[in-house]
Amino acid sequence: MMAAAVLLAAQLASGQPFEWRVETAWYDPGLCRTAPINCFDPLYPYRMAAGHDAREWYGRALACPEEFPLETKFIITGSRFNLANGEWLCLDRGGMIVMRPDGTAIVDLLSRHPVWRERLVVSVRLPNDDR
């Protein structure tokens, strides 16, 4: 984990786009009443960590580990059936959204439909990188 943490810190400090290993999952705060695991704050289930309303961000936002700044972009390609493919903006956090000991980042895609849990290498772009 230490080597992965040092490598990630160096990548983040560079400010340049880089590739990183992620494990995809999905969540839907609309299921808060029936699936409390999707519910960070039962009183405001659609409020994301960055302050945005999740209802406006389905299919475009994700929760990422705190090691990544909010508004980091994750560009996913090559997912099973293309279900996770696209550009996702980190606007949320979560208790299970962590870095694995091998350095893999768990990312939780905001989706109304299930997305395959899979490990992929994705492109990461930091906030203020307009590429």
Contacts of 94 (CB under 8 A, 6+ apart): 27, 40, 63, 108
Please give the Cα distance from 122 to 11 (Å, whole number).
14
Please give the Cα distance from 78 to 36 (Å, whole number).
30
| pLDDT tens, per residue, the chain with 131 residues | 578 889 999 999 999 999 999 999 999 998 887 766 666 677 788 999 999 999 999 999 999 999 999 999 999 999 999 999 999 999 999 888 999 999 999 999 999 999 999 999 999 999 987 66
Tell me the sheet residues that pair with 88.
74
**What are 49's two structure tokens?**
């960590």
Please give the Cα distance from 116 to 40 (Å, whole number).
22
